[in-house]
Amino acid sequence: MTLLNRPPHSASASAEPDSGRSGRPASFGDHVRAYVALSKPRVIELLLITTIPVMFLAAGGVPPLGTAVATLVFGAMSAASANALNCYLDRDIDQEMRRTRRRPAAMQLVTPRGTVIYGLTMGVLSTVGFATLVNWLSAALALFAILFYLLVYTLVLKRRTAQNVVWGGIAGCMPVLIGWSGIANSLDWPPLVLFLVVFFWTPPHTWALAMRYREDYAAANVPMLPVVAGDRRVVLECVLYSWATVLVSISLWPVAGTTLFYPLAAVVLGGILLVQAHRLLARVRAGVSGAQLKTMGFFHLSNAYLALLFSAVTIDPLLAGVLA
């Protein structure tokens, strides 16, 4: 990965900058792209992957189109709010890390004031939208997710404890509850089971990435587990959390009364995830370390695992309707 020079700190940092490399004034398109990047679209995609299937499960089939679209739109806006405000709060450490140096706030492509205004505006609009077009429960859950991500994870946990992504990951689990409540206007055991699936999945997924960028986190003084612990402990915890993820995922079968399609998919996908996790552990025990561990393979596999598992959640109620 190409290393970028750290943006200089100067009096001009408080003004809207030009487009940077070319020296030309920033165009409207440059500003739009910068604000979209503040929203972290790839993170939003992952959150929507867990929101859509739960709406199908809650509806027992295809959910009402208007409610589903509103839930997705306001859910994306809620996530954009949290992500933009996180970029504001973390702009100092983002400048220190290779994988985050290109973020608009870190590169001063958007002013701190502009970042905060954008984040707060998206948060207000998403909360009001949920309350008026979906329901108050979804609005409360979405607002809780924003506040938890910023006040608990970003300001308290991230820079203070190696357990940051364990408990901070709760914010990333909230779309499951929001998707269900958007359709049912209540909560039940099935979304709580899927909440736990995402909760247990988050640490090994994040730690695999953090092992690849360990030096970045160390330079930014962020005590991610791979920074403060050795490879053996990190990979062992990845294995344990992966087992918890798979076992909880299978429990959705009796809790939600799914067809046999879902547990079969959960077992196959879970088996693939566990094989990869145990391969990592075997390499560590064999003395392999650093880049040779190839933790990014597990990271990408865990992404595919979650997407395919929640795809099975989507398909199962449709299949049940056909078989009924």
d(CA 234, CA 252): 28
Report the chain's mean pLDDT, rounded to a whole number.
Answer: 89
The pLDDT of 298-303, averaged and rounded, is 96
Q: Residue 196 belongs to what domain range? A: 188-324
Judge whether 196 lies within some domain.
Answer: yes
Question: What pLDDT shows up at residue 5?
Answer: 34
In this prediction, residue 25 carries a pLDDT of: 63
Tens of pLDDT, residue by residue over 267-292, are 999 999 999 999 999 999 998 887 77
318 domain-assigned: yes
Asked if residue 305 belongs to a domain, the reply is yes
Separation between Cα atoms, residue 108 and residue 289, nearest integer Å: 36
Residue 252 inside a domain? The answer is yes
Residue 238 lies in a domain: yes
Would 235 be classed as within a structural domain?
A: yes
Q: What contacts 200, CB < 8 A, 6 or more positions away?
A: 241, 242, 244, 245, 248
Inside any domain, residue 209: yes
pLDDT value at residue 19? 44
Contact 266, 246 (CB under 8 A): yes
Q: How far is the C-alpha of 134 from the C-alpha of 201, rounded, in Å?
A: 28
Give the count of domains, the chain. 1
Cα-based angle 253, 57, 241 (whole degrees, multiple of 5): 50
CATH number for position 224: 1.20.120.1780
pLDDT band at 163 (very low <50, low <70, confident <90, very high): very high
Count of CA atoms in the C-beta half-sphere (13 A) of 270: 22
**12 is a domain residue:** no
Q: What pLDDT sits at residue 293?
A: 84
Give the tens place of pLDDT for each residue, 108-150. 888 999 999 999 999 999 999 999 999 999 999 999 999 999 9
Q: Give me the sign of the Cα torsion angle 303, 85, 162, 248.
A: negative
pLDDT in tens, 43-55: 888 888 999 999 9
